[in-house]
Amino acid sequence: MVSDVHKAHGVRRVLWMGWWLGWWLAGVSPALAAPYEVEPEAVGAQDLLALVEEGAISGETLSALLALHRTGVDLGLATRATLYGLPGLSYTDVDALLRTRAEGSVAGGRLKGALTEDVSRRLAPFLASRTSGRVSGDARLMAAFAASDGLPPPLALQVRAQGLANLRVGLLATLARRSLGPLRRDARRRAFVVEAPGPGVMLPKLYVQWTGERASLLAGTYRLGFGQRLTLDTTALPSPDGFLPDDGVRPPSGLERECLVGGAGCEPEARLSDVTPDFRWDESFRGVAGTVRGPVGAGAELSLTGFASYQSRALPRYAVLDRASCPSPSASGGCKAPDVWVTMPGGREQKLTARTLPGAFHEWAGGGNATLSSSSRGQVGVTGWVARPVWGQGGAPLDFQPNARYPAGGAFGALGFDAAWGQGALDLFFEGARSFDAAPGGGGGFGAVQRTVLSGKARELELSFRYYGRGFANPYSGAPSGPDALEGLRVRNELGARVRYLHRNEGLWRLRGQVDAWVLPADGAVAGSAGTLHARASARGDLLAWPGFQPSLQVELRDSGVGGTGACGASLALDPDAADLCVSARQGVIARVRSEVTEGLSLSLQYGHARVRAPETKGLRHDAQAVFDVRAQPGAALKLHGRLVWKDEDLSERSRLRQELRAALDVTWVASSLVSARGRYAWVLDLKDARVARVPPDPPRHLFHLELETRF
């Protein structure tokens, strides 16, 4: 009874806080555009990775901006939801664009007079237009390597072409030097066996898309999402509206151990040496997707989208369950994952120490969406999908561990309903969904998201509520949530409210921020975590009036509640890199000054300091980071970007956490309108004290990234 009372108080507390903050912010500073933390000054992959390193943007924002940059938005065809995904545009800005388009002021996919010169320049990297009757495109070859490498460098090739018969083609090919062989099961040992890693050419992504005025069809790799991202979303965009072609790739950001096996499977030098990892990518859907739109009745439009996918998916080794040796993992608190043995030269076998198994299972998936729109601001829609994993290891009774992000037991899916309505400055959005699965003790659960947006010129306010039941196990939901996870899923077992805002005076100043609070309706990975209030808040102000002096200040607060980390224990077990998201408490401030010294030369200096109470440490620790950034353009064909970063995750000691100094230089040379090249060199120094460090500090690292691009 006492526990129920505490849960009820927690629910009422978070709802009351959300409503109060929403009305207070509406009166003080009306706010918010598409939910990106900053409007990036440069949008190359390395530029955006640098913003993640600074703490200026989240990983989700990185994924969304990279997808927009690579895919492009056609202003002549994009829907209201798609346009809202462009950084810095409010719904008022988007509606103005749609009115301009309706008046016919479109040329080459660009809207004449609809955007100011500054906004047009900022959005240019995210825009694309259709070219009919003329083939155009680009090809980009990338390589990464380190001075310590004893292997050839990994390569990645992206090719994109369009313009013939409304077709668009793209592919991603890579040269991987450390790819594992096919995974097979040894029934006698109840373990997996793979061939030793070796070089190989891979074609992980390929698509062909046809786009017409009323229909679009794609065959190959793609991402898709609908509504409020609750039922289905793999795009990371703030307001997805259908499918996007996918040929994205992530460059290596560091080094990894050369030896992938334990014991004496490698020579002593290999066990201590670091090499550059292969290029990596997200495993999107692979198959066919299509959309058809048409008028129905007076002023209404019906949009139908369907998709089917068959994709091989990687899986961490700890997420695999062998039911032959462990038929009921929950009864005994879990089961050990099967061992993975690597066949080395000479016939010897050693245990694999790498965490991820490529092609661990295959997934059939399919579904669709039907949306009826009365206007660009009023619509109702239904989304449904189902997926079934297929284990190809000789009929072995394999399944997912309870801590895997996929529900165990067989097929799983979700069905949802969404609606939107807008009038004047007000927009209302809602989506409710029911997930289904065959997991023991599961069966699925309910989730709901509601957003209210008040939009004005250069200002916008958003207030949203969310509820995800404990049984809502949906691995393809992209709805907003806290950083804590339950059984590998963040969008689960949560009741919360969020306020986001932006207030901007173009060319003078900009203020943005958010407050997010949530409770766990039921116990998560930690007993007694139900009802504990979690909260995080951030605010950033930028003064833009003087090009020579543009200061900004960012403040961040997080609190995972009294008594510990709640469900973050599961997050740390699944992904040790997520430790900074699962701190019990964090208070941080970042101060930055940027200066346009002269035309073609800008400087910025940033310092951040945070006080952290983390689950793995006793008491408080103090983290610090300083960044010095220089951008110069000596001539029209040459761009230089220098960057110096110092980071210390615990100022009181130098024995275990990340403490490093990193210097990087980017050089971009535009040889002609058709050919450009880019090189990046980074020097990384580990600052841990070798006399007291738990693990010996890494030697100085020299990292290189080369990129050659040609346009046609």
Tens of pLDDT, residues 497-515: 999 998 988 778 999 999 9
Q: Tell me, what's the pLDDT at 264?
A: 61
pLDDT greater than 90 at residue 142? yes
454 alpha carbon, distance to own chain's centre: 26
Q: Tell me, what's the pLDDT at 106?
A: 53
The band of 564, judged by pLDDT with boundaries at 50, 70 and 90, is very low
Compute the distance between CA of residue 627 and CA of residue 611 in angstroms, rounded to an integer. Answer: 19
383 alpha carbon, distance to own chain's centre: 22
Report the range of poorest mean pLDDT among 184-188, 278-282, 364-368, 441-445: 184-188
Beta strand extents in 376-473 (DSSP E only) = 378-390, 398-400, 412-423, 426-437, 446-456, 459-468
Compute the distance between CA of residue 52 and CA of residue 33 in angstroms, rounded to an integer. Answer: 20
Q: Report the pLDDT averaged over residues 64-80.
A: 85
Q: Tell me, what's the pLDDT at 7?
A: 44
Q: Is residue 609 part of a domain?
A: no
Q: Is residue 697 part of a domain?
A: yes
The band of 484, judged by pLDDT with boundaries at 50, 70 and 90, is confident
Q: Tell me, what's the pLDDT at 596?
A: 93
| Higher pLDDT, residue 471 or 67 | 471
The band of 21, judged by pLDDT with boundaries at 50, 70 and 90, is very low
Q: Tell me, what's the pLDDT at 379?
A: 95
Q: Is residue 196 part of a domain?
A: no
Q: Is residue 272 part of a domain?
A: no
| pLDDT, tens digit, 9 for 90 and up, residues 101-131 | 888 755 544 555 567 777 777 788 888 866 6
Compute the distance between CA of residue 400 and CA of residue 592 in angstroms, rounded to an integer. Answer: 46
| Higher pLDDT, residue 606 or 66 | 606
Q: Is residue 632 part of a domain?
A: yes
| Higher pLDDT, residue 18 or 584 | 584
Q: Is residue 413 part of a domain?
A: no
Q: Tell me, what's the pLDDT at 351?
A: 81
Q: Tell me, what's the pLDDT at 488?
A: 86
The CB density around residue 378, as the number of other CB atoms within 10 Å, is 16
User: Among candidates 153, 201, 152, 196, which has minimal Cα distance to 175?
Assistant: 201
Domain that holds residue 690: 620-712
Report the range of poorest mean pLDDT among 161-165, 463-467, 704-708: 161-165
Q: Is residue 516 part of a domain?
A: no
Q: Report the pLDDT averaged over residues 563-581.
A: 42
Q: Report the pLDDT averaged over residues 72-79.
A: 84
Q: Is residue 692 part of a domain?
A: yes
Q: Tell me, what's the pLDDT at 641?
A: 94
Beta strand extents in 94-197 (DSSP E only) = 106-107, 110-111, 136-146, 155-162, 167-179, 184-186, 191-195
Model-level pTM?
A: 0.86
| pLDDT, tens digit, 9 for 90 and up, residues 196-230 | 778 889 999 999 999 988 999 999 999 999 999 99
pLDDT greater than 70 at residue 140? yes
Compute the distance between CA of residue 558 and CA of residue 294 in angstroms, rounded to an integer. Answer: 47
Q: Tell me, what's the pLDDT at 15?
A: 41
Q: Tell me, what's the pLDDT at 561?
A: 65
Q: How many domains does the chain have?
A: 1
Helices (H) and strands (E) in the chain, counts: 8, 35
Q: Tell me, what's the pLDDT at 154?
A: 94
Express the helix, strand and coil content of the chain in percent, nearest 5 each.
15, 45, 40
| pLDDT, tens digit, 9 for 90 and up, residues 289-343 | 999 999 998 889 999 999 999 999 998 888 888 887 777 776 445 688 888 888 7
